[in-house]
Amino acid sequence: MAAARQGSASIEDYARGIRDGDRAVLGRAITLIESAKGEHAAQAQALLQDLLAYAGKAHRIGITGVPGVGKSTLIDRLGMNLVEAGHRVAVLAVDPTSTRSGGSILGDKTRMAQLSQSRAAFIRPSPTSGTLGGVARKTREAVALVEAAGFDVVIVETVGVGQSEVAVAGMVDFFLVLLLAGGGDDLQGIKRGIIEIADMIAITKADGDNVARAMKAVAVYQGALSILTPAAAAWMPPVLTVSAQESRGLDALWDKIAEHKAMMTASGEFAARRGAQAVAWMHDLLQERLMAALQGDPAVAKRMGELEAEVRDGRRTPALAVTELVAMMGLGQRVAP
């Protein structure tokens, strides 16, 4: 892997290093797929295609929660439990990017102190680069790479509760929502939509004087879930209490995650969910490419700015503006107005 260390790795070098479990090569490969340069994008897609047969075998877990809920502490302790049980754990932590400096708060290795020291774990913070709700645009590709490197549990941690969670739920097998008890109205501050896509809710910091409040919150959320339609016909989302600080409830939490996979696999919903996610990924990429092509045509880009002004001022309907733009791109005969 000398070529890779010198920064001139071929696709074959990258693929071989990733399959061999070379963590440095894996890190550089994720940097490659995150690059905005056109030549890097082509290399990244070739690498992903080369590794496709080796990806898809991990259990993908999405974890979210409001700031201060204890996501990193829980992931650190849960991850160590999994490592001790023989698993290899990858954590992809989506970080907020500064809108002023473009910098990213990449402190996950200090927040997950134990897990970051394990050779059976890989922690990768990914700057969001301003994408919707804090979800890194290339998180899906990063998942494929760590799976190809042999990690059998992949955890995607998001920055908070918001629109990003819908995107993360669309790329994982199990979506865990962490909540705090004792904040007044337990349903306040979290959108109904987040509860609807949760496969499980865990009330964190259920220790000390907070145990009674945590148990009350369990009843509140179980009641809320009982009146919602489950995301999967074979699974009713449970509500648990955990204390990552005291390492209590984590085994029960993982048992529920494993039970979910077994039930979803038996019903056929696991494979169906994976397939639907892959198609959704293709649609997202198609929209991205089409928008890039539109913006890359100077005449179309100029006219789009003019049409945006007309739509904003109420002088043209959005539908007619879109019809004109697709016609300019040569798609007018194939795209309905």
Query: Residue 29: which CATH number?
Result: 1.20.5.170
How high is the pLDDT of residue 98?
A: 42
Return the CATH number at 162.
3.40.50.300
Note whether residue 272 is domain-resident: no
Q: Which residue carries 């994008």 as its tokens?
A: 41
In a domain, 225, yes or no: yes
Residues 248 and 316 in one domain: no
pTM of the model: 0.84
Q: Choose the final residue of a domain: 247, 266, 285.
A: 266
> Is residue 208 domain-shared with residue 179, that is, in the same domain?
yes
pLDDT of residue 238: 93
Domain boundary among 37, 54, 71: 54
- Domain co-membership, 29 together with 158: no
For 288, the domain range is 277-328
pLDDT at 103: 41
In DSSP notation, 219-266 reads: HHHHHHHHTS--SBTTB---EEE-BTTTTBSHHHHHHHHHHHHHHHHH
Examine the domain organization and report whether 110 and 204 are in the same domain: yes
| 76 plus 126 within the same structural domain | yes
Are 243 and 124 within one domain?
yes
Read off φ and ψ for residue 165, nearest 5 degrees.
-65, -35
* Below-50 pLDDT ranges, the chain: 1-7, 98-106, 133-134, 184-186, 188-189, 333-337
- Listed in sequence order, the residues at least 6 apart from 118 whose beta carbon sits closer than 8 Å to its beta carbon are 79, 80, 83, 89
Cβ neighbours, 10 Å, residue 75: 24
Q: What is the pLDDT of residues 116-133, one digit of tens each?
A: 999 999 999 876 655 554
* CB neighbourhood size of 177 (10 A): 25
- Give the model's pLDDT for residue 160: 63
Task: Please indicate, yes or no, whether residues 28 and 62 belong to a single structural domain of this protein.
Answer: no
What confidence score (pLDDT) does residue 258 get?
Answer: 97
Q: Is residue 333 part of a domain?
A: no
The values of phi and psi at residue 112, to 5°, are: -115, 65
* Domain shared by 307 and 254, yes or no: no
pLDDT score, position 133: 41
Domain match, 45 and 62 both: no
Q: How far apart are CA 213 and CA 206, in angstroms?
A: 8
Residue 271 lies in a domain: no
Beta bridge partners of 95: 127
Same domain, 144 and 190: yes
pLDDT at 230: 72
* Residues 212 and 320 both lie in one domain: no
> Does 7 share its domain with 117?
no
